Amino acid sequence: MIIILFGPPGAGKGTQSKFLVNKFNFIQISTGDLLRNEINKKSKYGQQISSIINKGELVSNELIYSIIDSYLNNIKENKNIIFDGYPRNLKQAEKFNELMIKHNFKLDKIFFLNVKRKEIQNRISGRVICTNCKEIFNTNNKDKNLINHKCGDSFFIKREDDEEKTILKRYDLYMADTAPLIDFYKKHIGYCEIDGNKEILQINEQIEGFLNI
Ligand code: AMP
């Protein structure tokens, strides 16, 4: 089963993907994570990617395409994949279709996590990530899991692109570039809009209900 999860930064795509990975054995392909890996590996594109991400801009469609394409080349058996953060604009959606054909996959479900701007601002301003296990927490909620986290608190970092100014820029970019994807995917039988303002577990219930696995 192939799923696309899209929605503005901070909508909870990463968190919801993790639920599906753990419960249904999906592979999560997060373009944000793949790009951050390139930065950490100090690959030939690393520095360029880092400056783009930190400015809150989008990496070129060609680079994203080639990163995803080579990732898909290495997938041998598991055909349950969640695309988290890709496609992000119309051009990428068209190329996504090409990738599906090339790798013999079929897109089944598309979830749009719709969240209000104010809610996004609140969420991202408190977001920290454990660099050890990649779990995401929010310091704005009195999150018990954060205090008792298994890796301890020494791995928590705030992503550089989570600063207030960058958040707003990323949100505006999302509105301009990603929102047209709604019209593009609305015609697909597997399209589902999710109220992403709700609590994490309620969102998860909505998604699983529509997945019907
Ligand atoms: P994310 O972790 O999904 O919030 O992505 C972090 C950053 O990575 C974005 O703000 C973009 O700069 C870049 N990025 C992630 N996915 C894409 C994509 N599909 N196309 C272009 N840039 C992307």
Per-residue tokens: 183: 């019209």
CB atoms within 10 A of CB 107: 18
Half-sphere exposure in the Cβ direction for 89 (13 Å, CA): 14
Tell me, in angstroms, the distance from the centre of ligand 1 to residue 32's CA: 5
Q: Over 70: is that where the pLDDT of 131 sits?
A: yes
Q: Which atom of ligand 1 is nearest to the CA of 10?
A: 4
181 lines ligand 1 (CB under 6 A): no
| Stretch among 32-36, 60-64, 67-71, 75-79 having the lowest mean pLDDT | 75-79
pLDDT (mean) for 158-175: 80
| Residue closest to 50 by CA, chosen among 60, 61, 40 | 40
What pLDDT score was predicted for residue 34? Answer: 94
The residue contributing the CA closest to ligand 1 atom 6 is 32
Rounded CA separation 140/2 (Å)? 33
The residue contributing the CA closest to ligand 1 atom 19 is 86
The residue contributing the CA closest to ligand 1 atom 11 is 58
What pLDDT score was predicted for residue 4? Answer: 97
Mutational pocket test of ligand 1: of 5, 13, 28, 31, the residue with most ligand atoms within 8 Å of the beta carbon? 31
Beta strands in the chain (DSSP E): 2-6, 27-30, 81-84, 107-114, 127-130, 136-138, 156-157, 191-195
Estimate the share of the chain in helix, then strand, then coil, as percent rounded to the nearest 5: 50, 15, 35
Task: Share the mean pLDDT of the chain.
Answer: 90
- pTM, full prediction: 0.84
Q: How confident is the model at residue 83 (pLDDT cuts 50, 70, 90)?
A: very high
What pLDDT score was predicted for residue 9? Answer: 84
What pLDDT score was predicted for residue 59? Answer: 95
Tell me, in angstroms, the distance from the centre of ligand 1 to residue 188's CA: 24
7 lines ligand 1 (CB under 6 A): no
Tell me, in angstroms, the distance from the centre of ligand 1 to residue 31's CA: 6
Q: Over 80: is that where the pLDDT of 160 sits?
A: no
109 lines ligand 1 (CB under 6 A): no
99 lines ligand 1 (CB under 6 A): no
CB atoms within 10 A of CB 57: 14
Q: Compute the C-alpha angle 188/6/44, nearest 5°.
A: 120
64 lines ligand 1 (CB under 6 A): yes
- Is 161 in contact with 169 (CB distance < 8 Å)? no
The residue contributing the CA closest to ligand 1 atom 5 is 32
